[in-house]
Structure formats: C-alpha cells, structure tokens
Amino acid sequence: MTDSRDWFPSEEEPNPMRAAQAGMKPTLPKRFYKDADVEERDGQFLLTLDGRTAKTPGKQTLAVPSRGLAEALAAEWQGQGDEIDPSTMPITRIVNSAIDGVTPRQAEVVDDLVRYAGSDLVYYRAGEPERLAKAQDEAWRPVLDWAKDAHGARFTLGEGVMHVTQPEEAIAAIRRAIEQNRSPFALAALHVMTTLSGSVLIALAHAAQQMDADQAWAAAHVDELYQEGVWGEDHEAMERRRRREADFKAASKVYRLSNQ
C-alpha cells in the first residue's frame, strides 16, 4: 500500500507557505514511482502507483466512483516531475478531502453550504457607479432567476454590505438543492466552488449546467474585474485569482466526473 501523508502534510506538520515566507524554500518529496494507473475493483476505481494501491492522508484507499475521475487523478500523478508538488494536484486534494473529510460528516458540509445561502454574494448590489451596478445585474440576475424557476427560491436584494435577512422558505429550497448531491465527491467539489466564488447559488447554477466554468468564475468576480477596468491590473491579485480559478475549474471537473 502507498500512503500519501508524506506528500500531503497535515496542519501539524511544517507549513510550506510559512517556510517560504520565512525565506526558506519548501522541500518537496521526490517522486518515488514511475507509473500512475487506474484499477477497477468492486465497482470502484482505484489509483495505483507502480501497481500499488494509493492511500489518502487519512489512510483510506484512494478510490473514486467513476473511471473518468480516476483517470483525471492518475493524470495528475503521472504529470509530476522529479518532485511531487501538491499545489499542482487540485483534483487529488479535492478527492482526498471528499474521502477523509466529507464522507464521515456530509450533514455538516451541507449545513456549511446552506449558511452561504443566507448571505450570498449575488444579493448585494452597488448603488453606483451605474456601470458596476449594470454589470452585477447582468451577471447575477440569471442566477437568481434560475434559483426561482428551478427551486422556487426567491431572495431579497440589498444595496451595499448591510446584511439582508432572506426568507426561510428560500433557504430551505436551497438546502434541498444541495442535499440532492449525495456523492461525497460532488459535495466536496460543490463546497470548493462555493468557497472560491463566495456564492453557493453560482456554484449550484454551474453544477446544473446553467453556465459554464468561465461564466461562473467571471460572475463571481464582477467587482474585481470592474475595479481592474478602472484602476488597472494588479499583477499579484491577478496571479492569485488565476490560481484560484484553476482550483475552481478542477472542482468543476470533479463534480462532473463524479456524477458520470
């Protein structure tokens, strides 16, 4: 068996980011395998490294419900160079999270997603400038219309950042929509998309194929894109957003492949 704890360190182990901030180059583990492949067993698809079954950081078998998702996992592992860099393996990180974190506590994950529905990004609009208000409405109105038409969820909009209490029946409708995702892999992917976008409604609309990943990501960043159009681009902010976008698209892929 192959245990991945050594290359996906826990919080108790040295934090690579902190090491970098302290002027130390984080040490990445050496690649110890030649081939990453997929093995089907008892209706599950396992990641294998040189024929040995891989494990999650929690010592669970690294197995997923579809061949497509397993092949995406294997591609990440096969694509590593002489060192294993977890930052380039978002699908693996999401799958590990689904197996070790989401599976034993799905109800808690659902509750956390429902909390986003109480203060979703798309409820809060700018009163001015007019161009920003129009951009927000063009990006977010279709999401709210979909929530209303597909789930009967009608939400109250507000101006600025003051909290607006949403109707209980609307929140309950979104809970039911979230609970339709019974796969821990789909639920983990939905949670990643929600936290990265700040909007469970955008994540759900994308999951329901109402918008593609590019449209969903753009909708979640209307304000930032507007500010860049006015003040110019900030290189560090753009790089940070690109990395987060890659994680969002990886979560989108996990969601799609887990439901095949």
Q: Which fold has domain 104-258?
A: ATP12-like fold (1.10.3580)
Which residues contact residue 160 at a Cβ distance below 8 angstroms, ignoring those fewer than 6 apart?
124, 126, 127
- pLDDT above 50 (res 158): yes
Domain ranges across the chain: 2-88, 104-258
Distance CA 213, CA 252 (A): 7
Please compute the mean of the pLDDT values over residues 70-83 and round it to a whole number: 97
Which whole-number Å values give the CA distances from 141 to 18, 96, 112, 153, 220, in the listed order? 41, 35, 24, 13, 12
233-257 pLDDT, tens digit per residue, is 888 888 999 999 999 999 999 999 9
Q: Considering only residues 16 and 135, tell me which one the structure prediction assigns the higher pLDDT.
A: 135
CATH architecture of the domain with residue range 2-88 = 2-Layer Sandwich (3.30)
User: So what's the pLDDT on residue 24?
Assistant: 56
- State pTM to two decimals: 0.88
172-209 pLDDT, tens digit per residue, is 999 999 999 999 999 999 999 999 999 999 999 999 99
Closest by CA to 121, choosing from 101, 147, 97, is: 147
Identify the sign of the CA torsion 9, 10, 12, 17: positive
